[in-house]
């Protein structure tokens, strides 16, 4: 009986990916949120705050306050701070991002903010 319990414990700890650890991608998961909520102000021909969010490379160039992303650390990423209601609270116009949308962006950053 002890061996069976130990085996189950080891298997549970070695399970590589659980359903809540879904890999978040920039194009499939993050970019649709940006298109809906951010690109009206942060696009190539407008660049409010000198930030273009229309493509990964442009986003990572940053704006007036530098790169808004700290890969692996959403809490220290300016982007997450702003969309979570800290000053300046983004987006300025329109509906705020839902908690689920903020989580998608935070998870993407936590997973390394890959293109």
Which residues lie below 8 Å from residue 25, measured CB to CB, with a gap of 6+? 108, 114
Best CA proximity match to 94, nearest among 31, 44, 25, 34: 34
pLDDT digits (tens, 9 = 90+) for 84-114: 988 788 998 878 999 999 999 999 999 999 9
Best CA proximity match to 100, nearest among 18, 16, 29: 29
Instruction: Say which range, 1-5, 47-51, 63-67, has the weakest mean pLDDT.
Output: 1-5
Mean pLDDT, rounded, for 54-60: 97
**Are the C-beta atoms of 24 and 107 separated by less than 8 Å?**
yes
Alpha-carbon distance of 59 to 67, in angstroms, equals: 7
Query: Does the pLDDT at position 15 exceed 60?
Result: no
Look at residue 88 in the predicted model and tell me its pLDDT: 80
Alpha-carbon distance of 12 to 37, in angstroms, equals: 39
Look at residue 9 in the predicted model and tell me its pLDDT: 39
Reported as a pLDDT band with limits 50, 70 and 90, residue 2 is low
Q: Where are the alpha helices (DSSP H) in 38-77?
A: 56-61
């Amino acid at each position: 009986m002890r061996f069976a319990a130990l085996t189950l414990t080891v298997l549970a700890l070695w399970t590589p990916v659980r359903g809540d650890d879904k890999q978040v991608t920039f194009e499939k998961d993050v970019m649709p949120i940006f298109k809906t909520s951010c690109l009206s102000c942060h696009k190539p021909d407008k660049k409010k705050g000198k930030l273009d969010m229309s493509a990964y490379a442009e986003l990572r160039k940053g704006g007036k306050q530098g790169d808004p992303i700290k890969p692996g650390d959403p809490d220290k990423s300016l982007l997450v701070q702003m969309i979570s209601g800290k000053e300046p609270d983004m987006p300025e116009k329109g509906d705020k991002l839902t908690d689920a949308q903020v989580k998608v962006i935070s998870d993407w950053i936590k997973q390394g903010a890959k293109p």
